[in-house]
Chain A
Amino acid sequence: MNYTNQIQEIATKLFAEGKIDVFVGYRQNLFDENQVPCLVTDPADISKLVFTEKSVFNLSNYLKFEHTRNKRVGLVVKGCDSRALNLMLTESQVKRENVYIVGICCEGVLNEKGEKAQNCVECVMPDAVVYDELLGSPTGKREYLVNADIKELAQKGLTERADYFENVFENCIRCNACRHSCPLCYCAKCCIDQETSSLFHGANTSSSAMHALMTWTLHLAGRCVDCRNCEKACPSHLPLHLLHKQNEMVIYENFQQHLAGMEKDDRGAFYKYSMSDPDDFIM
């Protein structure tokens, strides 16, 4: 999968026509084969832009920051990235007219070991769902698969699961990299950072880690697109996808097979009311 030339051409054209102020894409890392985000403001830097199966980071994340706010942005998005962008558009974080979206029909990205990443193997929508221009040939929506690790975890007893997650929370250092790299965590001041929330505030203990991670998980329920920015950002390599994929499965099964960001104006699972919503828990 290589769209380097096309992306460079598109970026050149957009700058030449004065349509954008900044183009957000990927560039090669200086010290290994990985790629890092690249915010191009000077057309002379366009030659740095690349796109291959190593273009992993969800670039919609950069629409949260000062470099793109109130500017006209050109952006490269794969399937999952575009679903996050869809949600950001619906949730009024980005103005559609300010973004020129280069959508990619993704063939899957590689993880550190050089294999196809798990979320790509289980991908539900590889083609960009919102775009101004689409590169590649669309292959359409795929069958939803329950995450392999969730299936395995479901086999374990509650005590075993509790111990496993206690170990996870113990290793969390509360660096907040997960939150800062998630495009859908755009709150100017996170509820966890509020000084009034004395339960979360401050200490990097494993109980505060549990509160922080579980709150984050619930705030992303029905909104997570499984781009794995969070997991890759985590310095302690915590298996954060387990938290989100569990919610995704529950929501899929109970709320009319809802998956985040698939449609325009998607407002998440909990903003719609349907007669078939589960109500067996209501007396």
Chain B
Amino acid sequence: MEQLLVPMLCTVDKVIDETPDIRTYRMKMKDPDLLEKFTWMPGQFVEFSLLGHGECTFCIASSSTRKGYFDCSIKRAGIVTADIHSNVEEGMDIGIRGPYGNWFPVDDIKGSNLLFVGGGIGLAPLRSLIQYCIDTRKDYKDFTILYGARTSSDMCYKEEIEEWKKDPSLKVFLTIDRPEDNWKDSVGVVPKILEEVVKPEIKNTKVITCGPPIMIKYTLASLDKLGFDPKDVITTLEMKMQCGLGKCGRCNIGSTYVCKDGPVFTYEQMKSMPDEF
């Protein structure tokens, strides 16, 4: 077991300030051999070690179809993440274990229209899937992206969103909670905009949604109301994970291990799990 808990060393290539409390760390493996071999599917996560401070679970926010690096977008929420924000600079070494977990069912969603619904930092795992789907475009039909944040400065990946807006094959809807000067897109919480502005087509559409627990709760309720089949709604579950290997017992919900059977679940699967989260 002890060997399984030893991380691989990565160097931080770039630090990008996305919002006042979210930073993206672009990393690459130090060992060139590993750099070649390290690959992952969208939705998987890694255990990010700031040696001496602690280890956290973060999803990989970029797709492995874009080679040579991987991104982790980290929100300053607790003690280790605060340490990461204060201490990690370009050129520093980070320990990475992974990739762990299951991934978004990229095969099951082939041939469908895709609706991505994200909120706040929830766009990070979605971005990995969006990039993957853009890079394998012919396998899917129409793309719609709905992304909401508290304010315009709380939006992640602002530059990339501008590129998505320019892409004629993507429909992009943005929303913030309260009106702001110079804001031309929607105003309102994500579930409301989903129902009133996006008005998604149910037929042959799969929905993939990630965000803070409260947004997910109301978004799932809206999707129910709109008539989506729980089998077609895919989300990620947040439960404290530590080892990522199905051994430490932290992420159990019933007999499910979130780090092995998840973190990606369909809404139908979530409904059958004990109501603990």
Residues of A at the B interface (CB closer than 8 Å) are 195-196, 198
As a 0/1 sequence over residues 200 to 218 of chain B, the CB contacts with chain A under 8 angstroms (1 = contact) are: 0000000000000000000
Bound CA–CA A198/B79 (angstroms): 12
- The number of inter-chain residue pairs (CB within 8 angstroms) is 7
Residues of the B chain whose Cβ atoms lie less than 8 Å from the Cβ of A198? 52-53
Question: Nearest chain B CB to A200's CB is how many angstroms away?
Answer: 14
As a 0/1 sequence over residues 76 to 87 of chain B, the CB contacts with chain A under 8 angstroms (1 = contact) are: 001110000000
Bound CA–CA A198/B80 (angstroms): 12
- B54 interface contact, C-beta 8 A: yes
Contact B79 A195, beta carbon cutoff 8 Å: yes
Question: Nearest chain B CB to A100's CB is how many angstroms away?
Answer: 37
Residues of B at the A interface (CB closer than 8 Å) are 52-54, 78-80
Bound CA–CA A196/B82 (angstroms): 11
Q: Which residue of B lies closest to A195 (CB)?
A: B79
Q: Which residue of B lies closest to A202 (CB)?
A: B54
Question: Nearest chain B CB to A235's CB is how many angstroms away?
Answer: 20
Bound CA–CA A56/B54 (angstroms): 41
Contact A196 B79, beta carbon cutoff 8 Å: yes
Bound CA–CA A269/B218 (angstroms): 55
Residues of the B chain whose Cβ atoms lie less than 8 Å from the Cβ of A195? 54, 78-80
Question: Nearest chain A CB to B76's CB is how many angstroms away?
Answer: 14
Bound CA–CA A148/B128 (angstroms): 68
Question: Nearest chain A CB to B84's CB is how many angstroms away?
Answer: 13
Question: Nearest chain B CB to A196's CB is how many angstroms away?
Answer: 6
Bound CA–CA A198/B50 (angstroms): 13
Bound CA–CA A196/B53 (angstroms): 9
Contact sample, A vs B, 7 pairs, CB 8 Å cutoff: A195-B54, A195-B78, A195-B79, A195-B80, A196-B79, A198-B52, A198-B53
Bound CA–CA A208/B80 (angstroms): 21
Question: Nearest chain A CB to B82's CB is how many angstroms away?
Answer: 10
Residues of the A chain whose Cβ atoms lie less than 8 Å from the Cβ of B78? 195
Residues of the B chain whose Cβ atoms lie less than 8 Å from the Cβ of A196? 79
Residues of the A chain whose Cβ atoms lie less than 8 Å from the Cβ of B79? 195-196
Question: Nearest chain B CB to A205's CB is how many angstroms away?
Answer: 15
Question: Nearest chain A CB to B50's CB is how many angstroms away?
Answer: 12
Question: Nearest chain B CB to A183's CB is how many angstroms away?
Answer: 29
Residues of the A chain whose Cβ atoms lie less than 8 Å from the Cβ of B53? 198
Question: Nearest chain B CB to A29's CB is how many angstroms away?
Answer: 30
Q: Which residue of B lies closest to A201 (CB)?
A: B54
Question: Nearest chain A CB to B234's CB is how many angstroms away?
Answer: 33
Bound CA–CA A48/B53 (angstroms): 50
Question: Nearest chain A CB to B240's CB is how many angstroms away?
Answer: 13
Question: Nearest chain B CB to A203's CB is how many angstroms away?
Answer: 13
A-B pairs with lowest CB-CB distance, top 3: A195-B79, A196-B79, A195-B54
Residues of the A chain whose Cβ atoms lie less than 8 Å from the Cβ of B80? 195
Bound CA–CA A195/B53 (angstroms): 9
Question: Nearest chain A CB to B85's CB is how many angstroms away?
Answer: 15
Residues of the A chain whose Cβ atoms lie less than 8 Å from the Cβ of B52? 198
Bound CA–CA A198/B52 (angstroms): 8
Question: Nearest chain B CB to A83's CB is how many angstroms away?
Answer: 37
Q: Which residue of B lies closest to A194 (CB)?
A: B79
Question: Nearest chain B CB to A22's CB is how many angstroms away?
Answer: 27
Bound CA–CA A198/B83 (angstroms): 13
Bound CA–CA A195/B77 (angstroms): 14
Bound CA–CA A24/B275 (angstroms): 32
Bound CA–CA A54/B104 (angstroms): 60
Q: Which residue of B lies closest to A196 (CB)?
A: B79
Question: Nearest chain B CB to A240's CB is how many angstroms away?
Answer: 29
Q: Which residue of A lies closest to B80 (CB)?
A: A195
Bound CA–CA A196/B54 (angstroms): 10
Bound CA–CA A5/B168 (angstroms): 84
Question: Nearest chain B CB to A202's CB is how many angstroms away?
Answer: 9
Bound CA–CA A162/B161 (angstroms): 65
Question: Nearest chain A CB to B79's CB is how many angstroms away?
Answer: 5
Question: Nearest chain A CB to B153's CB is how many angstroms away?
Answer: 29
Question: Nearest chain A CB to B72's CB is how many angstroms away?
Answer: 20
